[in-house]
């Protein structure tokens, strides 16, 4: 049938996952750091996802598509609730989880203070100047806000001997790629380490770094490390 349905511009999508969180029907999923309309019959054409997108990657179009299947949507919601519990706002990143650290804390308890390894200020991507002197010959750490809280040894393993930039693609307005491109293009950056959370919305920061490296025209060694919500590392 001919009906109004959403269209996602992959080039404009920054992978923040806000649209997937706003889509109560579950029609949008995140794949390879990009939003995708996975189920056309789940899209009701009302466009709750449109105002959530910070880059204007989502629009309406009239085209042939399956009819909206409300019963299938409700059944999918019921299955998701049964398997994972109810997720506020439909975002996997808001799933409640409690980690028992008591045994771990007892075994590792020490009165010695942990010293900060931070080498510069500011650290927010949006606040840091493009041509700061500390970028010269820097090993760059670009991290999602939550990673330092989820991973206990973050200062020693990631911040140590690196210039640190942090951000949250879901909460910050706009896209980081332009600012990061300027930093990489205008400074002698030796390496880039990206640390993100496992939740889909964190794909936005990885995608922004990838586009910035490509746009800079430089070949710089880089890697991505993922932190799980219970504090484990995935490379």
pLDDT band at 170 (very low <50, low <70, confident <90, very high): confident
Rounded percentage of the chain residues whose pLDDT exceeds 90: 54
Residue of 145 and 102 predicted with greater confidence: 145
Range among 113-117, 152-156, 203-207 rated most confident: 152-156
Average of per-residue pLDDT values in the chain? 86
Contact status, residue 155 vs residue 147, Cβ threshold 8 Å: no
The most confident of the ranges 60-64, 110-114, 167-171 is: 60-64
| Tens-digit pLDDT profile for residues 76-126 | 888 766 654 444 445 555 554 545 655 555 555 666 677 899 999 999 998
Task: Please give the pLDDT value at position 16.
Answer: 81
If you write DSSP's letter for every residue of the chain in order, what string do you get?
Answer: -EEEEEEE-TTT-----HHHHH-TT--EEEETTEEEE--GGG--SS-TTTTT-SS--EEEEEEE-PPP-HHHHHHHHHHHHHHH-PPGGG-GGG-------HHHHHHH---SPPPP----S--BTTTS-TT-GGGTTEEEEEEETTHHHH-TTHIIIIITTSEEEEE-TTTSSS-SHHHHHHHHHTS-EEEEEEEEESSGGGHHHHHHHHHHHHHHT----EEEEEE-TTS-EE-
What pLDDT, in 10s, does the model give residues 112-134?
677 899 999 999 998 999 988 89
pLDDT 10s digits, 5-29: 999 999 999 888 888 888 888 899 8
Mean pLDDT value across residues 169-188: 89
> Which pLDDT value is given to residue 91?
56
pLDDT at 57: 92
CB within 8 Å of 174: residues ≥ 6 apart: 54, 55, 126
Q: Does residue 101 or residue 182 have the better pLDDT?
A: 182
For the segment 137-155, the average pLDDT, to the nearest whole number, is: 95
- pLDDT at position 87 is 47
The per-residue pLDDT for 110 is 61
* Average pLDDT, integer, range 180-208: 93
């Amino acid at each position: 049938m001919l009906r109004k349905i959403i269209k996602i511009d992959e080039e404009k999508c920054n992978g923040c996952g806000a649209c997937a969180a706003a889509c109560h029907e579950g029609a949008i999923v995140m794949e390879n750091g990009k939003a995708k309309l996975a189920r056309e019959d789940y899209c009701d054409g009302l466009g709750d996802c449109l105002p959530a997108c910070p880059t204007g990657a989502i629009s309406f179009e009239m085209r042939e598509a399956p009819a909206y299947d409300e019963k299938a949507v409700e059944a999918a919601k019921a299955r998701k609730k049964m398997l994972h519990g109810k997720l506020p706002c439909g975002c996997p990143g808001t799933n409640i989880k409690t980690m028992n650290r008591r045994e771990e804390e007892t075994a590792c308890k020490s009165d010695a203070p942990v010293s900060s390894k931070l080498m510069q200020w500011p650290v927010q991507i949006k606040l840091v100047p493009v041509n700061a002197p500390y970028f010269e010959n820097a090993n760059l750490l670009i991290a999602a806000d939550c990673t330092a809280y989820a991973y206990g040894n973050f200062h020693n393993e990631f911040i140590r001997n690196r210039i640190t930039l942090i951000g949250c693609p879901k909460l910050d307005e706009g896209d980081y790629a332009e600012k990061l491109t300027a930093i990489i293009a205008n400074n002698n950056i030796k390496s880039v380490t990206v640390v993100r959370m496992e939740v889909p919305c964190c794909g936005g920061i990885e995608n922004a770094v990838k586009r910035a490296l490509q746009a800079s025209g430089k070949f710089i060694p880089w890697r991505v490390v993922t932190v799980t919500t219970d504090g484990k590392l995935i490379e």
